[in-house]
Amino acid sequence: MPHPFEIREEIEVTATPEQVWEAVATGPGIDSWFMGRTEVEPGVGGSARMTLMGFTSEATVTAWEPGRHFAYNSEGPDGTSMAFDYRIESRDSGRTVVRLVHSGFLGDDWEAEYDALRKGDPVYLLKLAAYLAGFPNRVAECSVFTPGPQVADAGLLWAALGVGDPAGPDPVTAGTRVRLAVDGLDAEEGEVVFAHAPNAVGVRVGDALCTFSHGHQGMVVIEHHDFAKDAEEERIARAWQSWLDRSFA
């Protein structure tokens, strides 16, 4: 029997309501911080399609108030459903509050699903904030989502990356300078833009926003949004997959 759930999160971002709208309610904007590829048909009743790792899911737009309110909902044949509801509220000095309500009905393994969503939703809002602050009025040229192996000890991920443990005795924090050296990619100095204890770190390196997560059941996930005009998605994906294979063989 499907089980109801609801997760509420909010974040204040350095952006105008119009910039937030472009980031949460358009395909290119969503692709710049979320996972997969998304297409959005404007207006209530329009479709929102997300393709991730070869699988496409379809949703229906249920709220469309530019600069204020965007929502969509998808329903499965088994009675499960997933709804995202974004409320956008202007604040002074060029800042905006984004409120997310993520709700619906989960399937038989609802406890594990809920745990994964509860851990993941705040990380994606931090990614949204990092995108809006670091790459205003730009959209990603490519978006790479690379899941890796299950690793019981999150410390192994942070040690392999050399970025510091967000939940360690001397936790890494936003503003920390790091160096990412990955075969197949240019080694560059970067800066931690968010650290979410215990499971995620976001780094801006060059024209890219990279997020490293120790996710559901210990799965390592790397996301790379590149804003350089000459970004090569296949090369980036190969480089990160090779790094995962070597680091956790």
Residue 90: its pLDDT value, please?
96
Residues 190-231 pLDDT 10s: 999 999 988 999 999 999 999 999 988 899 999 999 999 999
Residue 14: its pLDDT value, please?
96
Residue 224: its pLDDT value, please?
98
* Residue limits of CATH 3.30.530.20 in the chain: 3-134, 142-247
Residue 205: its pLDDT value, please?
95
Closest alpha carbon to 154 in 143, 142, 144, 164? 164
Long-range contacts (CB closer than 8 Å, 24 or more residues apart) made by 164-169: 164/192, 164/195, 164/201, 166/195, 166/196, 166/197, 166/198, 166/199, 166/200, 166/201, 167/197, 167/198, 167/199
Q: What is the pTM of this model?
A: 0.94
Which amino acid is residue 89, in one-letter code? E
Contacts of 8 (CB under 8 A, 6+ apart): 99, 100, 101, 102
Count of CB atoms situated within 10 Å of the CB of 150 = 13
For 231, the token pair is 């970004």
Instruction: Please say whether the structural domain 3-134 has been given the CATH code 3.30.530.20.
Output: yes
- Provide DSSP, 201-246: EEEEETTEEEEEEE-GGGEEEEEEEE--TT--HHHHHHHHHHHHHH
Residue 94: its pLDDT value, please?
85
Which of the residues in the chain have pLDDT under 70? none
Specify the CATH architecture of the domain 142-247. Answer: 2-Layer Sandwich (3.30)
